[in-house]
Amino acid sequence: MSDTARATEPRVLIRPDKDTFLAEENPFEAMMERFDHAAKLLNLDPGLYKVLRNPEKQIIVSVPVVRDSGEVEVYTGYRVLYNTSRGPAKGGIRFDLNVTLEEVKALAAWMTWKCALVNIPFGGSKGGVVCDPTAMSMGELERLTRRYTSGIIETLGPDSDVPAPDVNTNERVMAWIMDTYSMHKRHTVTAVVTGKPVEMGGSLGRREATGRGCTFVTREALARLGMALKGARIAVQGFGNVGSITADLLAKEGAVIVAVADKSGGLHNPQGLDVPDLLRWVRERRQLAGYPKADPITGEELLTTDCDVLVPAATENVITRKNAPNIRAKIICEGANGPTTAAADKVLEEKGIFVIPDILANAGGVTVSYFEWVQDRGGYFWDEETVNRRLESIMVKSFHDVVALADKHKVNTRIAAYMLAVGRVAAMHRLRGMYA
C-alpha cells in the first residue's frame, strides 16, 4: 500500500458528519462513511476522491409485464454500474419489494470494493426490480426477467457488465437472462451471467461459494485469536443459501452451532443444533419455525446470544448502535452485505470484537463467479476440488492482507479492508489517467 498511502497531510475534504439516524437508515451513506474514512487515511487526491465517490451509470427502467390474468403491471427496475476501471462490472440482480435506487447504488459500490479487495479483475454493479416474486407465477417471473433484461441490455456483456443471482433470484433467472441476451446477439453467450446451471456453463462449487468463503475466514480469525474452530460456538442469523451453508460447513469442521434464525424465527440449543436435521426440516417446510428439537428465540435475541462467532447472513443494518453494546460474540463474520451500521462499528471496536467485514467475509461468491466467467470464456471447466482450492487460496490471502494492513496503520479490519480495496481502485485510475 506504500504507493497509495503517503506520509503527507490528508488533502481530502471529508463531508461533515451526517446525522447518525440517517447514516443507519441510508445504506449508501452508511457505506460511504467507511469510504470517507479510508479515503482520508489514503490521502486521496480530491479529484480522484470525487470520481470514486460517484457511480459511473445509474439506469432506471419501466418493466411492463402481462400477468396471467391478462392485466398489465408495470414494475420499476434498476441497474447501477459503480466503477469499471479494473474490468467489467460484476453484481447481482434482486427481485424484492424493498429494492430502492439508494440500496442498489450502495450494493454496486460494495461490489467494487469487494472485487478489488480479493484482487479479481472486475468492477462493481448491482440491479433489482421492485416486485413481490412470491406473488408471481413462474411464467410471470420469466416475462419480468426477460423484459428487464431487454431494458438494460445495452450495458450487459462479458466485457461490460456481468450479472449474478441475488435476493429472490437463482440459476433459472440467470438462464433466462443468458437466453434473452443470446437471442439479441444471435449466438450463445454463456459468459454474460454467472450463477447459471452447471449444464449451461455454470461452475461447480458456485452455490456453496459464499458460505465456504465465510468458513475459511472464520477459521483464520479464530486462529488469530488463538482459538480452535473445533468446539467454537457459532450463531447464524439468516438460514438462506449463505447462512445455511456456512452453518453446515462449520459444523462439519467441528464447530458447535448454538443458534440459527430466519424470517420465521430463531432456534437455540447451547449444546449444539443438529444442522443436517435442520436442513432437512427447512427443505420440507421452507422455514425454521416449528422445529421441535430446540428452544425458540427471536432474531434479535440471536444477535446477543452467548457465542464465539456471530454470523449475520440475512439483511442490511441488523447490528446497530442500539444492540451492539449487548453483543457477546468475540468474532463477527459478516455473511450479508452491510449488516453492521457505521455507528455500531464504533461500539464493536470499543468492545474489542474482531469483525470480518462484509467485503471480505462474503467475497467467496464473487470469487467463484469470476472463476465461472473465466471457465466460460476459455471453454474449459474445472473440477470442484480445483474451484474450492483456488477459492481458499484467495480468501486466506485476502484475510491476511487485511489484517496486516490493520496492524500497520492501527485501524480496525473494516477500515483496513476499505483502504486496501479503495487503494487498488485508485491506483488503476492513476495508471489509466483521465479521459477527456
CA–CA separation, 339 and 324 (whole Å): 12
CA–CA separation, 315 and 237 (whole Å): 9
User: Residues 90, 105, 114, 126: which is the catalytic one?
Assistant: 126
* Residues 372 and 201: beta-carbon distance below 8 Å: yes
CA–CA separation, 84 and 56 (whole Å): 8
* Residues 350 and 328: beta-carbon distance below 8 Å: no
* Residues 210 and 164: beta-carbon distance below 8 Å: no
User: Which residues partner with 233 through β-bridges?
Assistant: 256
CA–CA separation, 245 and 276 (whole Å): 10
Report the Cα–Cα distance between both ends of the chain, in Å, rounded.
28
Residue with cell 438462506: 240
| Residue type, position 416, single letter | A
CA–CA separation, 147 and 74 (whole Å): 11
The closest of 36, 109, 21, 106 to 343, measured between CA atoms, is 21
Per the annotation, the verdict on 40 as an active-site residue is no
Provide the 3-class DSSP secondary structure of residue 322: coil
Could you give the maximum distance between any two Cα atoms of the chain, in Å? Answer: 66
* Residues 357 and 413: beta-carbon distance below 8 Å: yes
CA–CA separation, 101 and 355 (whole Å): 28
| Residue type, position 356, single letter | I
CA–CA separation, 94 and 78 (whole Å): 10
CA–CA separation, 89 and 109 (whole Å): 11
Residues whose CB is less than 8 angstroms from the CB of residue 311 and which lie 6 or more positions away in sequence, other chains included: 214, 218, 234, 235, 236, 237, 238, 243, 246, 247, 332, 333, 334, 335
Provide φ and ψ at 35, rounded to 5°: -60, -45
Catalytic annotation, residues: 126
